[in-house]
Amino acid sequence: MSKLVTIYGGSGFVGRYIARRMAKEGWRVRVAVRHPNDALFVKPYGVVGQVEPVACNIRDDASVRAVMRGADAVVNCVGILNRAGRNTFDSVQAEGAARIARIAAEEGVGHLVQLSSIGADAASESEYQQTKAKGEAAVLQAFPTAVILRPSIIFGNEDGFFNRFAAMSRMGPILPVVGADTRFQPVYVDDVAQAAVAGVLGHAAPGIYELGGPDVATFRDLMQQMLAVIQRRRLVLNVPFFVASLMGAAFDLLQALTAGIVKNGMITRDQVRNLKRDNVVSPGARGFAELGIAPTAMGAVLPEYLWRYRPSGQYAAIKNSAKNLRKA
């Protein structure tokens, strides 16, 4: 019988790529999510019955154990960018990660991969990064041979970064950003998935790996590259941190007063704190090189999915070609 991997958050942005790659490796894949009916799109990643979404709440021991039973490996991709109800940063990214690692050790799982984040630091101002660090520590305490992946900002077809700002660029001549001079090292989602698969297959030594792509750029420069791809001219306007903090506080308060009915999808105070620090691979950190993976450049991928934000969408290339004919 083929081996089994349980992927917590396996229908999310990164998880789905890991699930697809594990199916190609011939493994059975159990995709643990809160709402399995919303994750049915993962089933065609393999042959009939190879990839199955199952219900799980990582805040509950019995639920986590039930979907892990019989697994040869486990991957935890669960994370949040904004707290909502009982899904707080601590309950998901610290306690949830600790629960998965503890139960994996109890169940005799062979390999555990934990998806974290560059900047994870217990002393950080950001609660997001604090809880990422707490989760890492708990994982390594319960499962010392775990592989922990710390990616920089992740890009790809379903990303919430370039897609979000490309959509915003259609609304007017100004594109506001917070932390325009903060540096990032964007990493392609399928490269992160490849690193996770190396951990599952036992091809990666235990410990922490920081994953960044070949390009390091400021937030402003990333937006300029994105605008060039979507063929739009916009003024990239830096929003000062103190202004962004006030905005985040207002949106956070609105979410709290409405008991989460109105969600803060703009910017939170914690995200502002996060944007104050560079998000790049640390000097001397293990990364793609140690995993034998050549990271993909943004320029090779962005045009493949951002074309839909061009003024002429899929017809942009045809229209540009026609303009050249008229000039000739």
Q: Is residue 66 part of a domain?
A: yes
| pLDDT computed for residue 262 by the predictor | 86
Total structural domains in the chain?
1
Q: Is residue 282 part of a domain?
A: yes
In the prediction, which pLDDT does 233 show? 95
Identify the pLDDT of residue 180: 96
Check residue 315 and give its pLDDT.
Answer: 64
Handedness of CA 294, 202, 157, 47 (dihedral sign): positive
pLDDT tens readout for residues 199-241: 999 999 999 999 999 999 999 999 999 999 999 999 999 999 9
Low-confidence ranges of the chain (pLDDT < 50): none
Distance CA 181, CA 46 (A): 43
Instruction: Give the Cα-Cα-Cα angle 123, 118, 84 (nearest 5 degrees).
Output: 75
Burial 110-131, CB ≥16 within 10 A → b, else e: ebbbbbbbbbbeeebebbbbbb
Distance CA 19, CA 47 (A): 13
CB 68 within 8 A of CB 8: no
Residue 24 lies in a domain: yes
Report the CATH number that the domain containing residue 200 is assigned in CATH. Answer: 3.40.50.720
Domain hosting 44: range is: 4-156+186-213+278-295
Length of the chain as a residue count? 328
| pLDDT at residue 238 in the model | 97
Q: Which element (helix H / strand E) includes 220?
A: helix 219-230
In-domain check, residue 264:
no
Amino acid 196: pLDDT = 98
Whether 45 maps to a domain, the answer reads yes
In a domain, 73, yes or no: yes
Asked if residue 223 belongs to a domain, the reply is no
DSSP string, 269-280: HHHHHHTTS-B-
Predicted model pTM: 0.93
